[in-house]
Amino acid sequence: MFALGLGISGMTMPGKVIGFLDVFGNWDPSLALVMLGAIGVHLLPSIWTLRLDSPVLDDRFHLSSLQTIDRRLVAGAALFGLGWGLAGFCPGPAVVAAGVLQPQAVVFLVAMVGGMASWEVVLRVRVGAPSRAGVLSEQTRGIPRRQEGAPGLSSAVAEEPLPLARWN
Amino acid sequence: MENFTPYSALIGGALIGLAASLMLWLNGRVTGISGIVGDLLVPRESEVGWRVAFLAGLALGGVLLLPWAPQAFDPFPDRSTGALVAAGLIVGVGTRMGNGCTSGHGVCGIPRGSTRSIIATITFIFTGGLSVWLVNTFFGGVL
């Protein structure tokens, strides 16, 4: 369903994406409607679902507990945007298009995985723990917490973020 | 404005939102594709199966869509392989550094009221626009 949404919406077409980002040129605002449509549909179910004790098929939610807005978040998002505007692909559409072996998507996807792996290697060297992105809070309501995952991850949860400037 | 396709955009967006809602309700998870892919690189036993299944579903969705809307997969002529490789690397690093992408921060994070996601989304849309502007201005739109 997610893939069909991406395909129908135009997100798998770099031309549409770049057209959307081409604010000062030939602007195609279509993708703004994609985001608005997605958020519009997802908003109320999201609020409603998160009031439940647990999801239907699992005993707990798996949601990020990260709160701080730090340089890493902004720098990461900025980099992602640069790459997104350069290729016209972001991760989801790349997987969908790679599924039909669209050559550009395959190239992008392989490079993307390479970039992700590079980051994991760099992070491991810097902080000696898996990426914080892999550490999800155990958000439970009335259900006993249980620690999960490789040793050292729970200490990573309590660990301070990388020593970067942060503002709340 | 050129090539404005409001109806397919809204319908596609609604499908994305519906899929995200189902994922959250059924599985308690966020459909952030960069996270689903990226966390596979830091494998934890219980975390592999559902990710593979979801990604397989994404790819299958493409296969199902192809006969009905082949134009969704037309190659884009204005970007070279080199640019795609560079972009892929940058996106790979950026999404891990920033803990998310358009689906994770934009579609899922914003409805949760996540300030991080709101900031991230604004940031990557801004730099996305900057990136396109740079290519248009200094490379005539072809790189």
Predicted-complex ipTM score: 0.95
Predicted confidence (pLDDT) at residue B129 exceeds the cutoff of 80:
yes
How many beta carbons lie within 10 A of that of residue B71, not counting itself?
9
Give dist(CA B106, CA B119) in Å, integer: 10
Give dist(CA A64, CA B99) in Å, integer: 9
pLDDT value, residue B47? 83
How many beta carbons lie within 10 A of that of residue A122, not counting itself?
14
Query: What are phi and psi for residue A61, nearest 5 degrees?
Result: -80, 155
For residue B10, list chain A residues with Cβ-Cβ distance below 8 A.
33-34, 36-37
Query: Do the Cβ atoms of B90 and A82 come within 8 Å?
Result: yes
Q: Which residue in B63, B64, B37 sits closest to B50, CA to CA?
A: B37
B139 pLDDT tier (thresholds 50, 70, 90): very high
Rounded to a whole number of angstroms, the CA Rg of chain B reads 17
pLDDT value, residue A121? 86
Poorest-pLDDT segment among A63-72, A109-118, A131-140: A131-140
For residue B63, list chain A residues with Cβ-Cβ distance below 8 A.
99-100
Helices A91-99 and A103-127, axial angle in degrees (round to 10)? 130
Chain centroid offset of residue B107 CA: 10
Query: Do the Cβ atoms of B91 and A131 come within 8 Å?
Result: no
In chain B, which residue's Cα lies nearest the Cα of A69? Answer: B116
Identify which of A63-77, A151-165, B51-65 has the greatest average pLDDT.
Answer: B51-65
Give the residue, A135 or A47, on which the prediction is more confident. A47
Q: Which of B8, B59, B84 sits opposite A99 (nearest CB)?
A: B59
CA atoms within 13 A on the CB side of B55: 20
Give the residue, A31 or A142, on which the prediction is more confident. A31
B91 vs chain A: nearest CA distance in angstroms? 5
Per residue in A6-20, pLDDT (tens digit) is 999 999 999 999 999
Q: Which of A21, A67, A119 sits opposite B128 (nearest CB)?
A: A21
For the entire predicted model, the pTM comes to: 0.85
A72 vs chain B: nearest CA distance in angstroms? 6
A66 pLDDT tier (thresholds 50, 70, 90): confident
Give dist(CA A105, CA B54) in Å, integer: 18
pLDDT value, residue B103? 96
Query: Do the Cβ atoms of A4 and B127 come within 8 Å?
Result: no
Asked if residues B124 and B104 have their Cβ atoms less than 8 Å apart, the reply is: no
In chain B, which residue's Cα lies nearest the Cα of A34? Answer: B13
A123 pLDDT tier (thresholds 50, 70, 90): confident
A160, two tokens: 């301070």
For residue B78, list chain A residues with Cβ-Cβ distance below 8 A.
15, 18
pLDDT value, residue A124? 62
pLDDT value, residue A67? 85
How many residue pairs from chains A and B have C-beta atoms closer than 8 A? 482
Give dist(CA B29, CA A61) in Å, integer: 6
For residue A98, list chain B residues with Cβ-Cβ distance below 8 A.
59, 62
Give dist(CA A130, CA B66) in Å, integer: 37
Asked if residues A70 and A165 have their Cβ atoms less than 8 Å apart, the reply is: yes
Rounded to a whole number of angstroms, the CA Rg of chain A reads 19
Give dist(CA B90, CA A115) in Å, integer: 6
3-class DSSP assignment, residue B20: helix
Q: Which of B8, B63, B127 sits opposite A10 (nearest CB)?
A: B8
Per residue in B55-106, pLDDT (tens digit) is 999 999 999 999 999 999 999 999 999 999 999 999 999 999 999 999 999 9
Give dist(CA A63, CA A67) in Å, integer: 12
CA atoms within 13 A on the CB side of A65: 14
Token pair 């690093």 is at which residue?
Answer: B93
For residue B133, list chain A residues with Cβ-Cβ distance below 8 A.
22-25
Diameter of chain B measured on Cα atoms: 48
A160-165 — which CB contacts under 8 Å span 24+ positions? A161/A66, A161/A68, A161/A70, A161/A72, A161/A132, A162/A70, A162/A72, A162/A126, A162/A127, A164/A70, A164/A71, A164/A72, A165/A70, A165/A71
A121 vs chain B: nearest CA distance in angstroms? 10
Query: What are phi and psi for residue B111, nearest 5 degrees?
Result: -60, -25
Query: Do the Cβ atoms of B128 and A15 come within 8 Å?
Result: no
DSSP state for residue A139 in the 8-state scheme: E
B48 vs chain A: nearest CA distance in angstroms? 12
Predicted confidence (pLDDT) at residue A131 exceeds the cutoff of 90:
no
B14 vs chain A: nearest CA distance in angstroms? 5
pLDDT value, residue A149? 39
